[in-house]
Copies of this chain bind each other. A is one copy, B any other.
């Protein structure tokens, strides 16, 4: 029985800024990728996770956990990535239902090219405006808003 009351003015303002700024920044990063003829951010998220996972790859449900995408979304996103030759779907030895997704060489290359643009967007959009200390402070505050069960 914690929060029954309406939000404080401070909470409303912080929420409003968070909504507006995040939407605006996503939009700009997305625009930059489009400008470069590159796939959307969602593809980067998945390619990034798969690149981190290495040759072992990841199961789709692990991607769901890591990325916050819905199950059906991952399913279709992986289908598109596979159609573009950026990932491979491999059968799993000990589970006939499942599959392992592994990033391909082309996938790594695409991720690299996306990062060249995406990374610059991040540098421009947040790195430019705030000092390292301020960025850390922002990260810390945002970290406190994550939900109980989520870790980094």
User: CA of A148 to CA of B123 in the docked complex: distance in angstroms?
Assistant: 11
User: Are A6 and B148 closer than 8 Å at their CB atoms?
Assistant: no
List the number of copies, as a whole number: 2
Q: Which of B12, B26, B124, B138 contacts A2 (CB 8 A)?
A: B124
CB neighbours of A3 from chain B (8 A): 120, 123-124, 127-128
Q: Would you give the shortest CB distance from A106 to chain B, in whole angstroms?
A: 22
User: CA of A13 to CA of B126 in the docked complex: distance in angstroms?
Assistant: 10
CB neighbours of A137 from chain B (8 A): 137, 141
Chain A contributes a number of interface residues (CB within 8 A of B) equal to 55
CB neighbours of A136 from chain B (8 A): 10, 13-14
User: Are A10 and B128 closer than 8 Å at their CB atoms?
Assistant: no
Q: Nearest chain-B residue to A1 (Cβ)?
A: B124
Q: Nearest chain-B residue to A151 (Cβ)?
A: B124
CB neighbours of A7 from chain B (8 A): 119-120, 122-123, 126-127
Given A124-B151, A129-B144, A25:B14 Cβ within 8 A: no
